[in-house]
């Protein structure tokens, strides 16, 4: 892991981007305080950005790319369908 100040990063940005592309994490500092990390992406965004509509939406800020691969995890059900049926039946009896 490397560390680089803002001024040096500005002057040699392409060099540090190539390091990140190669898999290295670069810590960006400002007055000896870490303010950012330059690292390889966790998801390969090239596939997404090959679609011109998606690329335009990302540029305009109306869409962000996913940060994890695969579908989002399914939430655990609050109750089973049998429990739901019973709750509905109880609710109807109260009327």
Q: Over the stretch 7-44, which tens digit does the pLDDT of each residue have?
A: 999 999 999 999 998 999 999 999 999 999 998 877 66
Per the structure block, which two tokens stand in for 27? 């810590």
Query: Are the beta carbons of 6 and 30 closer than 8 angstroms?
Result: yes
Strand, coil or helix: what is 87? helix
Q: Give the rounded percent of residues in the chain with a pLDDT score beyond 70.
A: 92
Residue 19 lies in a domain: yes
What is the tally of structural domains in the chain? 1
Residue 87 lies in a domain: no
Q: What is the largest CA-CA distance in the chain?
A: 74
d(CA 61, CA 55): 10
Q: Which residue has the higher pLDDT, 95 or 89?
A: 89
CATH number, position 48:
3.40.1620.10
């Amino acid at each position: 892991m490397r560390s680089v100040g803002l001024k040096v990063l500005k002057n040699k940005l392409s060099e540090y981007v190539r390091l990140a592309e190669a898999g290295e994490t670069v810590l960006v500092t400002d007055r000896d305080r870490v303010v950012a990390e330059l690292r390889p992406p966790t998801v390969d965004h090239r596939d997404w950005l090959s679609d011109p509509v998606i690329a335009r939406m990302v540029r305009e800020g109306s869409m962000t790319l996913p940060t994890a691969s695969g579908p989002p995890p399914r939430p655990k059900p609050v109750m089973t369908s049998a429990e739901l049926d019973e709750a509905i039946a109880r609710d109807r009896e109260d009327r």
